[in-house]
Amino acid sequence: MSSRYSVSERNGLSETEKMTLPKVRKRKAQLVDEIEALKNEVREVDEELDQVYYTHPKSKDYQKIVVNGRKKFNQDPWKALDWLASRNIVAKDPNALALWMKAGEGLSKSAIGEILGDNRPFALETLDKFTREHRLHEVPIVPALRQYLFSFRLPGESQKINRILEKFAEIYTEQNPSYGTADQAHTVAYSCIMVNTLLHNPNVKDKPSLEKYITMNEQLLSSGAITVEQLTEVYESVSLTQFKIPDEVTPTGKGSVNDILLHAEREGWLFKQSSNPLFSGALSWKKRWFVLSENCLYYFDQMTDKEPKGIITLANVGIRKVETPARPYMFEIYSLSDGQIKACKTEQDGRLVEGRHSIYRICAVNDEDMRSWINAISRMMAPQQHLLTRPKSTH
């Protein structure tokens, strides 16, 4: 072969081609990256088209879309609204959004509060619809406010808090016209928030007594915005049971239950005696999942339920074994003052109502379980009440 041919030419490349080769390789790498990016975009579009055209709500694929939608809402609720509407998860409509947030499954309480606290017209209408979804009729104002504030997390700004409490007061007095004016209800609601901070914030060292708290509100009393009786009701209720900030949701969507279980002393199946013989005939026993946590005894229909069926506050009460042949492992929680035990339960229509009982009877499955429950509940009650008394016989 002639020596006049260069090495590049012998390899099939001219000198010019050799100089352009790095540029070609660089461009090739760019094209490979661009092709891969296009493939990813096509996959994403295919997934979104599958989501848009899928209609069967019981499909596993659809449930994945719903879970993804909740995540997007929890990260940025306002940005998520269009995405949710385009996938037919919830319409971009105040009424539909309010119902979806009230159900609350898997939703961040903070994200719900972010929507409710906004002053845009859409948000104000959603706040109205959301608040009206709470059944507050014939529920005392403090338990009603607890129920309301547990369905979302109050935003931090005072203007947003005030706007939300004003709406609560408006709807509460509409559903309870005999209570008083919306201004009075608003004052009581705001007073609940204030005294909750004074009594339960660890940074507040000087906890006010009832008398001092009433003195602090002299101006409101003199103006007629609130009464001594209302202030006393607020103080006693909040001092007994703190207004809990609702827990954020977890991947299972069980925020409020997680807060209860986090501080649980004991949990398990027990039988609770029916409390309404007028409507259910002879007293019956129903199996309930009980959780003892933070000075309260919670009971659920099922151990996987998101919200308790009822709550029994363990204040000013005693506990004792009840000797009866038919139910040998029974015990009862009873009022020490012969009055009603502070409690509440959820009715079948979803209303939260105040308990009206002076005794709750509960039955365990064996003697060991019964004694363990009695001991655990006794330890949680105030020591000075001398709670565990001698057994009571019934026939």
Mean pLDDT of the chain: 81
> What dihedral do alpha carbons 73, 76, 78, 80 form, nearest 10°?
-50
d(CA 365, CA 360): 17
The answer to whether the beta carbons of residues 86 and 117 sit under 8 Å apart is no
Average pLDDT estimate for 331-355: 81
Cβ distance 317 to 341 under 8 Å? yes
- Taking 80 as the threshold, does the pLDDT of residue 163 lie above it? yes
pLDDT of the residue at 368: 92
**Rounded to whole angstroms, what are the CA distances from 333 to 184, 185, 330, 343?**
35, 33, 10, 12
pLDDT, residue 183, reads: 92
Only one residue has tokens 């939608």, namely 69
Q: How far apart are CA 250 and CA 254, in angstroms?
A: 6
- Residue 299 contacts residue 308 (beta carbons within 8 Å): yes
Task: Give the count of alpha carbons within 13 A of 294, CB side only.
Answer: 13
Considering the chain, what percentage of its residues have pLDDT values greater than 70?
Answer: 81
Which pLDDT value is given to residue 162? 92
Beta bridge partners of 330: 322, 363
0.85 cut: is pTM over it?
Answer: no
Q: What's the first-to-final CA gap in the chain, in angstroms? A: 121
Contact 179, 141 (CB under 8 A): yes
What gap in Å lies between CA 116 and CA 139, rounded to an integer? 23
pLDDT band of 263, cuts 50, 70, 90: low
> Residue 92: what are its φ and ψ, rounded to 5°?
-80, 75
Tokens standing for 157? 């700004």
317 vs 251 pLDDT, higher one: 317
Contacts of 193 (CB under 8 A, 6+ apart): 154, 161, 165, 243
Structure tokens at 301: 């229909």
Query: Does position 156 have pLDDT exceeding 90, yes or no?
Result: no
> If we measure between CA atoms, which residue out of 336, 322, 311 comes closest to residue 374?
322
72-76, 301-305, 310-314: least confidently modelled range: 301-305
pLDDT at position 334: 93
As a whole number, mean pLDDT of residues 90-100 equals 96
Looking at residue 385, its pLDDT comes to 43
Question: d(Cα 357, Cα 151) in Å, to the nearest integer?
Answer: 26
Q: How far apart (Å, rounded) are the C-alpha atoms in residues 83 and 78? A: 10
Q: What pLDDT score was predicted for residue 92?
A: 95
Q: How far apart are CA 200 and CA 192, in angstroms?
A: 12
Give 183-212 pLDDT, tens digit per residue: 999 999 998 988 888 898 877 888 899 999
Give the mean model confidence (pLDDT) for residues 139-160.
89
What pLDDT, in 10s, does the model give residues 365-376? 999 999 999 988
Query: Mind listing the pLDDT tens digit for each residue in 66-82?
Result: 888 888 898 889 999 99
Q: Pick the range with the lowest mean pLDDT from 61-75, 133-147, 148-162, 356-370.
A: 61-75
Of 50-59, 85-94, 332-341, least confident by mean pLDDT is: 50-59
Query: What percent of the chain lies above the pLDDT cut of 90?
Result: 34
Q: Name the strands in the sheet holding 264-273, side by side, starting at the edge strand that comes first in the sequence.
A: 352-354, 343-346, 310-313, 296-300, 285-293, 264-273, 359-363, 330-335, 317-323, 392-393
Asked whether 255 and 249 are in contact (CB, 8 A), the reply is yes
Cα torsion 224, 144, 102, 276: sign: negative
Instruction: Indicate whether 246 pLDDT > 80.
Output: no
Instruction: State whether residue 90 is helix, strand or coil.
Output: coil
Q: Which two tokens stand for residue 391?
A: 């057994």
Where does the pLDDT of residue 63 fall: very low under 50, low under 70, confident under 90, or very high at 90 and above? confident
Contact 267, 305 (CB under 8 A): no
Q: Where are the alpha helices (DSSP H) in the chain?
A: 7-10, 15-53, 60-75, 77-86, 94-103, 109-116, 121-132, 141-149, 158-175, 182-200, 210-216, 218-223, 228-240, 255-262, 277-280, 367-380
- The pLDDT value recorded for residue 380 is 77
